[in-house]
């Protein structure tokens, strides 16, 4: 690659500076927000890909054909000051200052609370921006400092902190991956968070080609310590933005790439799934038996995910094809599930095998990605054969897909789509996409294909049932996929190591803007879990936004809640805990959508002042209030964990015992118990309905208070609505806000409610921890109840 060195100012206006680089390229530095700049390099003055599907500031989604890369809508575009002195150019906003040096490298400062400028980040002075002089390939180098911690990159194996490692973004179907070491995986999120003791900042590269991040694995004697981003194609186009804390950076990234979709409440219930049922010759009978087994074992369940076996012909999978030998009557199947209160999600794949019944017709219509040399449909390996991938940059393909979703799924009673095997492993990088009328090579946009696939599926669902909020799942995707789907960590392998590191993977996704996540509980591939591992995995899984038990065990067994009768009571108890906490989880989903708050949170996210919380651990927060101490080692019957240092302390969820923060504690962890601590000052809304989501039957709501021990005040909220409509947009929801003031003698609780929605429950039963002796006063009256 060729290092870019020489530049001169071509143009400066109130929010952008344009530099001519090497007399032929353009470097644009744009102030988008007081704490956000964008740096973009146009090779020969042109974009390699002139659109983006990841950047979606404001409330609007991108056009399906992509947001013009030069568009600045959605940003406030504050004015900036510009000053050129000799060989430097300085651009200044209220919060950030960037200095451009000659030869080309950028240096960043931020304004501290006292109004003084402090160093934040710097490019590598010796060769910062590189282009391949004879084609594709770009790179950006920055300096690396010992006090920095790196987080982000979405779904990655290993520890949460990324220092000292090299990662690749290249979406793969990583079946049976090692959760500690396998790389790359399914998703493309080229975003890092740099945490320094005094400031944090985010760096997002809006580039959809395969790329690499080196965060300290590589050393070179000729340069100071550095970090590198390098892409095989496309443009250097990055956003850099600050936050006082890591949480601020994560929320800013979500505001940049789009809000978390607010799905239906039932999507937070237990979702059953297995490859075994739909692969069986009597798939419909197997599926119907699942309903009766849930009832027999008193296991609440809200949905079931149909694996792709329902589409099979001779053990291969053919999207939108029903195997009527296995499933003689899909409408009767869906009706039976609906009668039992369960919803169905069906697996769909974006690649048609070469012997698919509709292959010739789809090829004739030009709906596939095209071979770069022959102009015929591109062929790649897919499910033990070859097939061609659908081109979702072609409006005709989108129409064909939506017709299939509607006729073959929705009209047969299927409620939602499970968009799977959508990594688009098309290894001819020059294979041509229609590009909405502007042909483009797949190497520039491979991970946007699953994004467009899920969007096409969503639009079909919305058109079919416009009164309901859709629910979709997708395994692969890129930054911005949170606007459409719930996701998970793919086809994990069954062992204790996966249980431990899947938690870190989920937290990494959450820090990277993917809040609605989970894992295949019990493990997808390999040996079936033993009874103890299965119990601990379920206990961990019920504390994630997505809770699905899914498997394809090598021995043809099925991971089911009742698979080990001796521990079924422990499994039932964990799932019952999930349903008790459903009002809390649903409120978290609302806050993720409305306020960009992560649902899963590393313990340091709310306790950055506590250095111990930055040490790798197996603990995490569910929302701001619940500290989850999963048991991830065989034979363990107690759990030692660090209580983050806070002013209020922590309560044991089960016993009500109070502990000061900033200390190690050991809690009992018998097999039937998941250790949980609750932040003092919290109030957990709990349901009395341990059954599938049913607003009419959900007629009891408890507010479990965990009051401050010392005088002080705190507050919280509960969100309720009908669980599936768009009514909240016009006020048909219920926002219950509470404020608690604690003194030595009493606990004063003030509760107010807004909104038109009338739930089945008529009020809140307020509970206090065992041993709490202070008087409870609700809205001025001594009581343990609040009525609407």
User: Mean pLDDT, to the nearest integer, of 412-439?
Assistant: 97
400, two tokens? 């064909």
Does 308 have pLDDT greater than 80?
yes
Taking a C-beta distance cutoff of 8 angstroms, is the pair 334, 408 a contact?
A: no
pLDDT in tens, 312-330: 999 899 999 999 999 999 9
pLDDT in tens, 72-130: 999 999 999 999 999 999 999 999 999 999 999 999 999 999 999 999 999 999 999 99
Q: Where are the alpha helices (DSSP H) in 474-561?
A: 496-511, 531-541
pLDDT in tens, 91-102: 999 999 999 999
- So what's the pLDDT on residue 189? 98
- What pairing do the DSSP bridges indicate for beta strands 472-474 and 416-419? parallel
459, two tokens? 């639009």
Q: Please list, in sequence order, all residues whose beta carbon lies within 8 angstroms of the beta carbon of residue 280, skipping any fewer than 6 positions away.
A: 286, 309, 326
* Residue 111 to residue 94: CA distance in whole angstroms: 8
- pLDDT more than 90, % of the chain: 98
* Residue 747 to residue 781: CA distance in whole angstroms: 11
Cα→Cα distances 715→367, 562, 601, 707, 788, Å: 54, 40, 20, 11, 18
Share the mean pLDDT of the chain. 97
pLDDT in tens, 574-607: 999 999 999 999 999 999 999 999 999 999 999 9
Domain locations in the chain as residue ranges:
2-47+76-257, 682-787
- So what's the pLDDT on residue 321? 97
- So what's the pLDDT on residue 438? 96
* Residue 346 to residue 405: CA distance in whole angstroms: 10
Does 133 have pLDDT greater than 90?
no
- So what's the pLDDT on residue 134? 78
Q: Which of 674, 663, 600, 666 is nearest to 631 (CA)?
A: 674
**What is the CATH number that goes with domain 682-787?**
2.60.40.1180
Do 2-47+76-257 and 682-787 come out as alike in CATH topology?
Answer: yes
- pLDDT more than 70, % of the chain: 100
* Residue 189 to residue 479: CA distance in whole angstroms: 5
Long-range contacts of 721-729 (CB under 8 A, 24+ apart): 721/757, 722/695, 722/757, 723/264, 723/265, 723/266, 723/586, 723/693, 723/695, 724/264, 724/265, 724/266, 724/468, 724/469, 725/467, 725/468, 725/469, 726/467, 726/469, 727/757, 728/262, 728/755
Q: 239 falls in which pLDDT band (50, 70, 90)?
A: very high
Q: Which of 145, 190, 141, 146 is nearest to 167 (CA)?
A: 190
Domain 2-47+76-257 fold = Immunoglobulin-like (2.60.40)
* Residue 151 to residue 191: CA distance in whole angstroms: 9
> What sign results for the dihedral spanned by CA atoms 722, 725, 727, 729?
positive
Taking a C-beta distance cutoff of 8 angstroms, is the pair 778, 747 a contact?
A: no
- So what's the pLDDT on residue 58? 87
Q: Where are the alpha helices (DSSP H) in 207-345?
A: 246-257, 275-279, 283-296, 330-339
* Residue tagged 């061609």 (tokens): 388
Under DSSP, the state recorded for 377 is: B
Does 730 have pLDDT greater than 80?
yes
Under DSSP, the state recorded for 174 is: -
| Order of strands across the sheet that contains 658-659 | 600-601, 619-622, 626-629, 676-679, 650-652, 658-659
Q: Where are the alpha helices (DSSP H) in 711-754?
A: none
Taking a C-beta distance cutoff of 8 angstroms, is the pair 128, 138 a contact?
A: no
Residues in the chain: 788
109: number of CA atoms within 13 Å, CB side? 15
157, two tokens? 């194996």
Classify residue 708 as exposed, middle or buried by CB count within 10 Å of its CB (0-12, 13-18, 19+).
Answer: buried
Does 135 have pLDDT greater than 80?
no
Distance of CA 660 to the CA centre of its chain: 32
Q: Which of 48, 229, 240 is nearest to 130 (CA)?
A: 229
- So what's the pLDDT on residue 59? 82
């Amino acid at each position: 690659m060729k290092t870019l060195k020489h530049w001169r100012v071509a143009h400066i206006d109130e929010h952008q500076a344009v530099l001519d680089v090497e007399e032929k390229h353009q470097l644009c530095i744009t102030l988008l927000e007081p704490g956000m700049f964008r740096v973009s390099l146009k090779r020969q003055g042109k974009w390699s890909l002139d659109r983006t599907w990841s950047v979606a500031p404001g409330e609007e989604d991108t056009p399906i054909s992509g947001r013009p890369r030069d568009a600045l809508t959605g940003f406030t575009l504050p004015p900036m000051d510009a000053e050129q002195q000799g060989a430097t150019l300085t651009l200044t906003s209220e919060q950030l200052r960037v200095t451009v040096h000659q030869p080309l490298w950028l240096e960043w400062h931020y304004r501290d609370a006292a109004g003084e400028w402090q160093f934040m980040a710097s490019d590598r002075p010796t060769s910062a921006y590189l282009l391949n002089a004879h084609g594709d390939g770009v790179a950006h180098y920055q300096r690396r400092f010992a006090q920095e911690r790196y987080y982000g990159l979405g779904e990655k194996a290993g520890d949460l902190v990324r220092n000292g490692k090299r990662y690749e973004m290249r979406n793969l179907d990583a079946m049976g991956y090692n959760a500690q070491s396998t790389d790359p995986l399914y998703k493309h999120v080229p975003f890092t968070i740099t945490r320094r003791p005094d400031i944090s900042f985010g760096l997002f590269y809006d580039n959809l080609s395969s790329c690499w991040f080196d965060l300290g694995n590589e050393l070179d004697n000729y340069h100071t310590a550095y970090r590198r981003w390098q892409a095989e194609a496309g443009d250097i186009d990055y956003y850099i933005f600050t936050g006082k804390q890591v949480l601020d950076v994560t929320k800013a990234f979500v505001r940049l790439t789009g809000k978390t979709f607010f799905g239906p409440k039932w999507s937070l219930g237990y979702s059953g799934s297995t490859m075994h049922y739909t692969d069986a010759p009597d798939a419909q009978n197997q599926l119907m038996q699942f309903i009766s087994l849930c009832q027999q074992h008193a296991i609440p369940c809200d949905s079931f995910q149909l694996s792709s076996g329902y589409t099979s012909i001779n053990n291969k999978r053919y999207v939108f094809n029903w195997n009527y030998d296995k499933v003689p009557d899909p409408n009767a199947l869906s009706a039976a599930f609906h009668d039992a209160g369960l919803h169905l999600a069906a697996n769909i794949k974006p690649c048609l095998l070469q012997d698919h019944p509709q292959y010739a017709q789809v090829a004739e219509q030009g709906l596939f990605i095209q071979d770069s040399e022959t102009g015929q449909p591109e062929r790649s390996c897919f499910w033990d054969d070859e097939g061609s991938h659908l081109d979702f940059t072609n409006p005709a393909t989108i129409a064909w897909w939506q017709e299939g979703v509607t006729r073959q799924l929705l009209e047969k009673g299927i409620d939602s789509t499970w968009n799977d095997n959508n990594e688009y492993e098309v290894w001819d990088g020059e294979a041509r996409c229609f590009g909405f009328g502007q042909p483009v090579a797949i190497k520039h946009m491979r991970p946007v294909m699953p994004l467009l696939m899920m969007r096409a599926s969503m639009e079909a669902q919305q058109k079919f049932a416009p009164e309901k909020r859709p629910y979709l799942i997708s395994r692969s995707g890129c930054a911005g996929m949170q606007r459409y789907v719930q996701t998970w960590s793919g086809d994990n392998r069954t062992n204790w190591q996966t249980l431990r590191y899947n938690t870190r993977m989920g937290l990494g996704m959450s820090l990277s803007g993917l809040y609605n996540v989970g894992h295949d509980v019990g493990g997808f591939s390999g040996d079936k879990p033993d009874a103890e591992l299965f119990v601990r995995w379920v206990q961990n899984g019920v504390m994630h936004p997505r809770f699905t038990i899914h498997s394809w065990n090598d021995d043809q067994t099925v991971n089911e809640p009742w698979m080990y009768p001796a521990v079924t009571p422990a499994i039932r108890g964990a799932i019952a805990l999930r349903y008790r906490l459903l009002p809390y989880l649903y409120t978290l989903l609302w806050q993720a959508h409305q306020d960009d708050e992560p649902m899963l949170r590393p313990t340091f996210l709310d306790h950055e002042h506590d250095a111990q919380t930055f040490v790798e651990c197996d603990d995490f927060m569910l929302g701001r209030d619940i500290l989850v101490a999963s048991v991830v080692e065989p034979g363990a019957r107690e759990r030692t964990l660090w209580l983050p240092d806070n002013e209020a302390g922590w309560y044991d969820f089960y016993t009500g015992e109070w502990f000061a923060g900033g200390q190690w504690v050991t809690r009992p962890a018998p097999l039937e118990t998941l250790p949980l601590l609750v932040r003092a000052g919290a109030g957990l809304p709990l349901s009395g309905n341990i059954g599938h989501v049913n607003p009419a039957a959900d007629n009891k709501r408890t507010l479990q208070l965990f009051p401050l021990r010392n005088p002080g005040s705190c507050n919280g909220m509960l969100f309720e609505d009908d669980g599936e409509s768009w009514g909240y947009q016009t006020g048909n929801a219920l926002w219950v806000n509470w404020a608690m003031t604690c003194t030595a003698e009493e606990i004063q609780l003030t509760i107010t409610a807004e909104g038109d929605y009338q739930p089945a429950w008529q009020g809140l039963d307020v509970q206090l921890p065992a041993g709490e002796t202070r008087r409870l006063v609700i809205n001025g009256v001594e009581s343990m109840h609040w009525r609407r």
